[in-house]
A and B are shown apart, each in its own frame.
Chain A
Amino acid sequence: MLKKTFVSSLLSLTTPIVLSLCVGLLSASLVQAQKTPKIFTTDQANSTAATNMSYVNSLEGEYKTATDPLQKKLLRNRLIYIGVEQIDTEFNAFRRHSRKRNDLLQFLFDFLEIGVSTTIGVINGERAKTVLAEALTGFKGVRTSASKNFRLMETQILFNKMVANRAKRLQLVYAKLNDDVGSYPWERARSELKEYFYAGTTDDALNTLSIDTGAEASEETVKVERLKTKTLAELESAKSCDQIRADFFAKAKAGDAAAILKLKAALNANLDLTGGKTAADINALDVPGLEALYKDIGRRLLNEPAKYQKICDALK
């Protein structure tokens, strides 16, 4: 009893410390990104940086008062380049923060799952284990729901789509840089720059992606087949089949031509089970190919043992 109390106290004391340490280390490693070069961020009066709004406003003022079409076109293009730089800066910051948040969240989820699984292995008592295992199952459901509703697993897919959409919208703007200001004024260019900005948003990426939120992300994970419970009779048949099949393959691997023919004949007698193979395909197989096909059929028909038994019967 005293030992149990001590262990519980130790666990409750060390768990928050370890958790805080891990979060701190993770956060520290995440913030070690490159610093932005000063040439991009200065707000000095004479700076032409995109972040210097005095400079940007002065350009807009010049554009309004300019009368020479060529001068106006140059000013429009400079404003376009500054707009693109500002939008790119915001997008990159958004992408960085999203990744950091997602990585931290996934780590915390994994940490909690591993912690509960480990605790189940350590503690005594069937009831306690059952309760914790049920809680772990519930937690996994919460994680799946969070991943689906906050699109956590789709982050990379969405960002890839955003990058593609941004490139398309920017191309539309850059294609008109040589147009005169009569047909492509700064006001129109600014409107198209707004479209370029929206292309870097989650909503726009979702609109252009033909996915059902969460469904494709979860489908991308490997589907694990569920095995039906087998009967003793099915097990006995599988034992007998395994022995017969092993005998034939031992002989085939030793070069016994008759054994190889028999293995092929059993497949040819059940072509419907071979997954689309023809008799010509079967006859052309070497011993490793035969082994691979027998394994493939056996695994595909794990929930249909009666069908696989036909191949075994053909070997007898």
Chain B
Amino acid sequence: MDFKIDGNASLKDQEVTLNHTELQGVLKLVSYVFDGTPDKPHDNLATFEDRDIAVPIPPLKLTESGTGTDIWVGGVIKKVAISR
């Protein structure tokens, strides 16, 4: 399941949005990459998979890192690692 997230938002705001999606949507983040379009040039694409509703999921954390994936953060491309 794919969703777009505004890459003009701060890293913290994007982290909050991703965690909320995992919790309410009963989903688990699989990948998070930059994916702008001419209409929304600073969008990031989050891909989720289904998870068991009976098992709570630990929160994920986004951290700027040299070994992460490239995503839009505050309108700028940054390398971000995802951890739990």
Is residue B30 contacting chain A, with contact meaning CB distance below 8 A? no
CB pair A133 B77 closer than 8 Å = yes
Residue of B nearest to A234 (CB): B20
Interface bracket on B = 35 or more
Segment at the interface with B among A16-24, A178-186, A299-307: A299-307
Is residue A294 contacting chain B, with contact meaning CB distance below 8 A? yes
Query: Which A residues lie within 8 Å of B76 (CB)?
Result: 126, 130
CB pair A246 B54 closer than 8 Å = yes
Give the docked Cα–Cα distance between A37 and B67 (Å).
Answer: 59
Name the contact of B24 in the complex, choosing from A126, A232, A250, A305 (C-beta under 8 A).
A305
Contact flag A224-B45 (CB < 8 Å), given A230-B17, A249-B53: yes
Give the docked Cα–Cα distance between A121 and B68 (Å).
Answer: 9
Contact with A along B1-23 (1 / 0, CB 8 A): 11111100100011011011101
Greatest chain B CB density within 10 A among A134, A234, A235, A291 is at A235
Give the docked Cα–Cα distance between A295 and B57 (Å).
Answer: 14
Give the docked Cα–Cα distance between A315 and B61 (Å).
Answer: 28
SS class, residues of chain A in contact with chain B: helix
CB pair B24 A301 closer than 8 Å = yes
A-B contact count (CB 8 A): 118
Segment at the interface with B among A40-48, A79-87, A92-100, A136-144: A136-144
Is residue A229 contacting chain B, with contact meaning CB distance below 8 A? yes
Contact with B along A133-170 (1 / 0, CB 8 A): 11011101100100000000000000000000000000
CB pair A246 B16 closer than 8 Å = no
Q: Which of A232-286 contact B (CB under 8 A)?
A: 232, 234-235, 238-239, 241-243, 245-246, 249-250, 252-253
Residue of B nearest to A246 (CB): B56
CB pair B70 A227 closer than 8 Å = no
Is residue A196 contacting chain B, with contact meaning CB distance below 8 A? no
Q: Which of A73-123 contact B (CB under 8 A)?
A: 120-121
Give the docked Cα–Cα distance between A95 and B37 (Å).
Answer: 31
Contact flag A230-B77 (CB < 8 Å), given A137-B36, A224-B3, A295-B25: no
Contact with A along B64-83 (1 / 0, CB 8 A): 00000010100011100000
Name the contact of A229 in the complex, choosing from B17, B24, B59, B78 (C-beta under 8 A).
B17
Give the docked Cα–Cα distance between A38 and B77 (Å).
Answer: 60
Name the contact of B25 in the complex, choosing from A137, A228, A291, A298 (C-beta under 8 A).
A298
Contact flag A238-B23 (CB < 8 Å), given A231-B16, A246-B54: yes
Residue of B nearest to A253 (CB): B54
Question: B: which residues have CB within 8 A of A?
Answer: 1-6, 9, 13-14, 16-17, 19-21, 23-27, 34, 36-38, 40-41, 43, 45-46, 50, 53-57, 59, 70, 72, 76-78
A-B contact pairs, 12 of them (CB 8 A): A140-B37, A225-B4, A226-B5, A226-B6, A227-B46, A230-B20, A238-B23, A246-B53, A253-B54, A295-B53, A298-B24, A302-B25
The 3 closest A-B pairs by CB, nearest first: A141-B38, A238-B23, A137-B36
